[in-house]
C-alpha cells in the first residue's frame, strides 16, 4: 500500500479540497482509504460524506484538582503554580482552572496536606467511518487540549488498520496546517508528500518551510499550485521556486467556484465524470494521473529490485 500525504505549511490553500478530489479520482481505479490528520478542524468527513462513525476516547495528560475537605487554604499551591491556574472561590477555598492547568504537578508537590490530586483527562476522540470513497479515519481534539501530534498518530493507526481490512491500494492523508508536531506525525514515512500552495507571498514562504521539514524527513515532494490564476506574479514565483528546487509541478489549478459545487455533488453520490465539466476539475484530474503514474513506476522499480535481490540470493558460488 502506498501512502500519500497532502500538506501546505499554512491554512486556506485548498489542501482538504485537493485531498477529497484526489480521493474520488483514485477511487476510479484503486481501493482507497483516507485519514484526516487535521484534528483541530476536521472537515474531510464532511467532504467525503462519512457515515457509520465509531469513536474512541483519546486520553490527555493528567489534570489536577483540589479536594476542599482536605484543603487548609494555606495558599502554597498558588505560589507554586506558574500558570495562574489556581484561584480562590467565594467561599475561600481554592480551585484549579482545568483549561489553564498544564498538568505539571507543582501544586501537588507543594501541598503539605495531600489535598491536590491528579485526575486523568480526555483530550479528544479518534474516529473512523465509511466515506464515499472508502474507509475514513479522523480525529477531534477537544477545546483547549494539546497532544494533537499524538492524536494524529492515533488517527494514522486507525487509517492503516482500516486500509488493511479493506486491502486498500493507497492511503491518502489530509495533513494539518503549519509545520509543527501534528504535521510531522502526519507526513513521516509517507511515500510522497503533495504540497498544495497558492500564488501569494505567504504561499511561497510557507512552501519553503514545508520543504525544509520534508527534507529533514527525507520525504519526496510534489507540488500543486491552487488558485493559480489569481496572481500572475505569484504563480511565477511558485514556478521559479519549483524549478530552483527541482520539484515537479503536478498541476496549476485555476480558481473556479464550480469546484466547490463539484465536490459537494461528489459527496452526495455524484459521479467522477463531472470532473471534465470544469477547468479546475480537468487540472486536478491531470495531477492525479501524473501522481498515479509515479506511484506505479515506483512499484515497478521496487518489484525489479526484489527480483534482483532474490536472484542474487540464489546464486551459487563458482
Condensed to tens digits (0 to 9), the pLDDT of residues 203-219 reads 999 999 999 999 999 99
Answer yes or no: is pLDDT of 237 > 90: yes
271 or 78: which leads in pLDDT: 78
The pLDDT of 234-262, averaged and rounded, is: 91
Class of the CATH domain delimited by 2-59+123-309: alpha beta
For the domain made up of 63-119, give the CATH fold.
Alpha-Beta Plaits (3.30.70)
On the CB side of 80, how many CA atoms lie within 13 Å of its CA?
18
Residues of the chain with CATH 3.40.50.300: 2-59+123-309
pLDDT in tens, 117-128: 998 888 889 999
Residues of the chain with CATH 3.30.70.20: 63-119
pTM above 0.85, yes or no: no
User: Pairing state of beta strands 116-119 and 94-96?
Assistant: unpaired
Residue 96: what pLDDT? 93
Residue 317: what pLDDT? 54
Q: List for the chain the helix, strand, coil content (%; round to 5).
A: 45, 25, 35
What's the grid cell of residue 194?
503533495
Residue 99: what pLDDT? 82
Answer yes or no: is pLDDT of 314 > 60: no
Task: Please report where in the chains the cell 476522540 appears, as a residue.
Answer: 125
219 or 307: which leads in pLDDT: 219
The total number of residues shown for the chain amounts to: 318
Give the whole-angstrom CA distance, residue 10 versus residue 133. 26
Residue 18: what pLDDT? 92
Determine what percent of the chain is predicted with pLDDT higher than 70: 92
Task: Enumerate the H helices of 28-177 as residue ranges.
Answer: 44-47, 76-80, 106-110, 148-165
Answer yes or no: is pLDDT of 190 > 70: yes
311 or 95: which leads in pLDDT: 95
Amino acid at each position: 500500500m502506498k501512502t500519500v500525504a497532502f500538506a501546505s505549511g499554512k491554512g486556506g490553500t485548498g489542501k482538504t479540497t485537493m485531498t477529497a478530489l484526489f480521493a474520488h479520482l483514485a477511487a476510479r481505479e484503486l481501493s482507497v482509504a483516507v485519514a484526516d490528520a487535521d484534528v483541530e478542524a476536521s472537515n474531510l468527513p464532511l467532504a467525503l460524506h462519512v457515515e457509520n462513525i465509531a469513536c474512541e476516547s483519546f486520553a490527555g495528560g493528567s489534570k489536577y484538582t483540589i479536594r476542599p475537605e482536605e484543603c487548609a487554604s494555606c495558599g502554597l499551591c498558588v505560589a507554586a503554580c506558574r500558570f495562574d491556574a489556581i484561584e480562590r472561590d467565594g467561599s475561600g477555598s481554592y480551585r484549579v482552572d482545568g483549561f489553564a492547568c498544564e498538568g505539571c504537578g507543582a501544586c501537588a508537590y507543594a501541598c503539605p496536606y495531600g489535598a491536590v490530586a491528579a485526575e486523568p483527562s480526555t483530550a479528544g476522540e479518534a474516529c473512523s467511518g465509511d466515506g464515499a470513497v472508502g474507509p475514513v479515519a479522523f480525529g477531534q481534539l477537544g477545546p483547549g487540549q494539546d497532544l494533537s501530534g499524538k492524536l494524529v498518530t492515533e488517527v494514522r493507526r486507525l487509517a492503516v488498520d482500516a486500509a488493511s481490512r479493506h486491502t486498500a491500494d493507497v492511503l491518502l492523508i489530509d495533513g494539518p496546517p503549519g509545520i509543527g508536531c501534528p504535521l510531522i506525525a502526519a507526513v513521516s514515512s509517507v511515500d510522497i508528500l503533495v504540497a498544495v500552495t497558492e500564488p501569494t507571498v505567504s504561499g511561497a514562504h510557507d512552501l519553503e518551510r514545508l520543504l525544509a521539514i520534508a527534507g529533514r524527513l527525507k520525504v519526496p515532494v510534489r507540488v500543486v499550485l491552487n488558485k493559480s490564476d489569481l496572481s500572475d506574479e505569484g504563480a511565477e514565483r511558485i514556478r521559479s521556486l519549483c524549478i530552483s528546487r527541482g520539484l515537479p509541478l503536478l498541476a496549476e489549478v485555476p480558481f473556479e467556484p464550480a469546484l466547490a459545487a463539484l465536490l459537494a455533488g461528489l459527496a452526495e453520490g455524484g459521479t467522477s465524470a463531472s470532473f471534465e465539466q470544469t477547468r479546475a476539475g480537468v487540472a486536478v484530474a491531470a495531477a492525479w494521473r501524473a501522481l498515479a503514474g509515479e506511484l506505479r513506476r515506483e512499484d515497478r522499480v521496487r518489484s525489479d529490485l526484489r527480483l534482483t535481490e532474490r536472484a542474487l540470493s540464489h546464486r551459487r558460488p563458482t
